[in-house]
Amino acid sequence: MNKRLFFIVPLLVFMVMAGYFAVGLTKDPRKLQNMLTGQPVPEFTLAGLQGRDDTGFKSADLIGDVTLVNVFGSWCVACRVEHPFLMALKQKNLVPIHAIDWREDDRSAGPLWLKKHGDPYTLAGDDPKSKAAISFGVTGAPETFLVDKKGIVRFKHIGPINQQLWQTTLKPLIALLRKESSS
Amino acid sequence: MRLFICLFMWTLLSTLPANAVNPNEILTDPALEARARDISKGLRCLVCQNQSIDDSDASLAKDLRVLVRERITAGDSNDQVVTYVVSRYGDFVLLKPPFNMATLVLWLGPLLLILGGLIAAILFFRKNKKITAPASAPLTEAEKMRVAELLAEDNQ
């Protein structure tokens, strides 16, 4: 009996470890912990983009309404993919979308890009040195944050948002958050 | 000989990795700069993921290096800077995983495995001793007589 244990115990240990590794292999190590969900939006004050009416974009602007904050850059290929969907949201006036124009080398690059492809944003701020992006925990563009009336981040999406994500997650969540009181 | 040593050292030095830190990022106070380098070496570049921000040429890594230096200059302690970055990006940003509930198995697992192995080894060898012990049991009367017979035969 004891002798058999010598073979069974290592086998069991191996099987438990193999199980852990097998599950680990199915997980995406690039998926980061989401630190911001449930937290108030970080303090930030960004200058406006050239040629836009707004005077900039700051954290206080996010209080009072359910909004999307979209991180984009004219250099970002996936943002180009996402862009038509943001335009569609804007045309149907479904939710205000604000922008953090992230890491433009040239101050006119972002505004030119918006002029060329259309401007879906209500407010837009210029973030050349990642000041706001880092405080939002952004790792790549596009990233989108759903902010409630109190200015608390309720949902974060890495990568382009699309019709499917809108239908399954964003639309119902926005409807829910709109029912919440703003104080 | 001295020339040889010099050449050898020079070869070693020339194999050091090139620095990602741009000259214009470096702080004028060498003590603060040393602290910034120290912190940067422990922070993961979120773009390349297996490099520290100190090694990475990615633009986000550069902005993080600048942020680390700004915070140090503003009077933050090393811990405060690291805590801030972790509050934005999570424990994953630390190249050395912290010791907490989520990483308990990671830190203590190897120790447990070694202990388990030691215990198993001790038990195994102890038991083997017991198995070999009966083999050296004293000879029976019959055997003794047989041995005496054989020895007597030899002596003749």
Distance of residue B59 Cα from the nearest chain A Cα, in angstroms: 8
Top-confidence residue, A64 or B134? A64
The verdict on A14 touching B (C-beta cutoff 8 Å) is: no
Distance of alpha carbon A158 from the chain centroid: 5
Cβ contact A33–B90 (<8 Å): yes
Residue B17 pLDDT exceeds 80: no
Q: Report percent pLDDT > 70 for chain A.
A: 96
Expressed as residue numbers, the domain containing A116 is: 45-179
Cβ contact B88–A140 (<8 Å): no
The verdict on B90 touching A (C-beta cutoff 8 Å) is: yes
Beta-ladder partners of A143: A71, A158
Distance of residue B99 Cα from the nearest chain A Cα, in angstroms: 17
Of B28, B24, B41, B26, the C-alpha closest to B78 is B41
Of A43, A37, A38, the C-alpha closest to A135 is A43
Angle (nearest 5°) at CA B117 between B111 and B119: 105
Q: What is the mean pLDDT of residues A68-90?
A: 96
Question: Into how many domains does chain A fold?
Answer: 1
Distance of residue B88 Cα from the nearest chain A Cα, in angstroms: 5
Of B25, B34, B42, the C-alpha closest to B79 is B42
Q: Which residues of A touch B66 (CB under 8 A)?
A: 129
Residue A3 pLDDT exceeds 80: no
Q: Write the ipTM.
A: 0.84
Residue A105 pLDDT exceeds 60: yes
The verdict on A36 touching B (C-beta cutoff 8 Å) is: yes
Structural domain includes residue A39: no
Burial of A38 (0-12, 13-18, 19+ CB in 10 A): exposed
Name the token pair of B82.
Answer: 């690291």
Domain B16-98, what architecture?
Orthogonal Bundle (1.10)
pLDDT, tens digit, for every residue of A133-168?
A: 999 999 989 999 999 999 999 999 999 999 999 999
CA dihedral B97, B99, B102, B106 (to 10 degrees): 70
Element (H, E) at B111: helix B104-132
Q: Which of B47, B86, B91 sits opposite A139 (nearest CB)?
A: B47
Q: What is the secondary structure of A30-81 as a DSSP string?
A: TPPP--STTSBPPP-EEEEPTT-SS-EEEGGGGSSS-EEEEEE-TT-HHHHH
Q: How do the domains of chain B map onto residue ranges? A: 16-98, 102-155
Beta strands A124-127 and A45-48, pairing class: antiparallel
Residue A1 pLDDT exceeds 60: no
Q: What is the mean pLDDT of residues B78-82?
A: 95
Structural domain includes residue A52: yes
Structural domain includes residue A54: yes
pLDDT, tens digit, for every residue of B30-65?
A: 999 999 999 999 999 988 878 999 999 899 999 999
Using CA atoms, how far apart are residues A141 and A122, in angstroms rounded to an integer?
19
Q: Which residues of A touch B88 (CB under 8 A)?
A: 35-36, 42, 134-137
State the best of A9, A33, A135 to mutate against chain B, taking most chain B CBs within 10 Å: A33
Beta-ladder partners of B15: none
CATH number at residue A130: 3.40.30.10
pLDDT, tens digit, for every residue of A4-32?
A: 877 888 899 899 989 988 998 888 766 66
Cβ contact B88–A137 (<8 Å): yes
Structural domain includes residue A20: no
Distance of residue A109 Cα from the nearest chain B Cα, in angstroms: 17
Is residue B92 very low, low, confident or very high in pLDDT (cuts 50, 70, 90)? confident
Cβ contact A134–B88 (<8 Å): yes
Angle (nearest 5°) at CA B63 between B57 and B69: 110
Q: Which of B60, B116, B120 sits opposite A139 (nearest CB)?
A: B60
What does pLDDT average to over chain A?
91
Beta-carbon neighbour count of residue A85 at 10 Å? 16
CB within 8 Å of A83: residues ≥ 6 apart:
A72, A117, A118, A120
What does pLDDT average to over chain B?
85
Structural domain includes residue A5: no
The verdict on B59 touching A (C-beta cutoff 8 Å) is: yes
A vs B, Cβ pairs < 8 A, gives: 54
